[in-house]
Each structure stands twice: as structure tokens, then as C-alpha cells.
Amino acid sequence: PVTMTHAVVEPAERLRVGITDGLVRLSVGVEDVEDLVADLREALAKL
């Protein structure tokens, strides 16, 4: 969110509403929940 949707928001305002530099936005659709969990685990394991 910091570099995309909220890039134009002042840093102090972002912090006030809980949008920190380390915040990760996760957008999911209507996939099976087990598929979503598996994909998320796989991605996080690569960090």
C-alpha cells in the first residue's frame, strides 16, 4: 500500500491509520481456500 494505493498520502497520516512501510496487502478471489493457503505458504517460504 505504501508504494501503490497510498503513495500520495503523507507518511504521518499513513502511520495514523496503521499503514506501515512493512504492511503487505493480500487480495484474494474466489479460489478454493486450500489453494490460497498453499500459494501463500509457498510465497512466504521464499522470503
Q: pLDDT of 3-47, one tens digit each?
A: 888 889 999 999 999 999 888 888 888 989 999 999 999 999 998
Residue 24 has what pLDDT?
A: 86
**Residues with Cβ < 8 Å from 8, sequence gap 6 or more?**
none
Residue 40 has what pLDDT?
A: 92
**Residues with Cβ < 8 Å from 46, sequence gap 6 or more?**
none
Residue 25 has what pLDDT?
A: 85
Q: Which of 46, 1, 45 is nearest to 23 (CA)?
A: 1
Residue 17 has what pLDDT?
A: 94
